[in-house]
Amino acid sequence: MSDIDDDEFLLDEDFPLGDGVADMDTLVICPYCGEEVEIGVDPGGGSDQSYIEDCPVCCSPWMVRLHYSGGTVEVTLAQTEA
C-alpha cells in the first residue's frame, strides 16, 4: 500500500517549485500609510528578489525584498531613500 507516497510524488511532479505551488501573492503592511495590502509576487524571479514597487493605496515607493523558502514567500518592505 503506497497511496500516500504516490500522492506526494505526483504533487511534486505536477507542481514543481516556481510553477504552481509557490506563493503568488502575499499580504504586506505599507511602511508609509500602514495599510494592509495584497501584492502579487513572482516565484519565477528567483528565490531572492528585490525591487521597487509603489503602494497601491498611497503611491509611495517601497523597497521590496522577497525570499522564497520551500514555496513560501517572505516579504520585507522598507521605505526607499528620499
Contacting residues toward Zn ion, per CB under 5 A: 30, 32-33, 55, 57-58
Phi–psi pair at 10, nearest 5 degrees: -65, -40
Is the CB of residue 49 less than 8 Å from the CB of residue 66?
Answer: yes
Q: Write out the H or E segment, with its range, that includes residue 7.
A: helix 3-14
Give whichever of 11 and 33 is closer to Zn ion, judged by the CB atom.
Answer: 33
**Closest separation between CB of residue 81 and Zn ion, Å?**
17
**Closest separation between CB of residue 52 and Zn ion, Å?**
14
Quote the CA–CA distance of 38 and 5 in Å, as a whole number. Answer: 35
Give whichever of 23 and 53 is closer to Zn ion, judged by the CB atom.
Answer: 53
Give whichever of 17 and 33 is closer to Zn ion, judged by the CB atom.
Answer: 33
**Closest separation between CB of residue 59 and Zn ion, Å?**
7
2, three cell numbers: 503506497
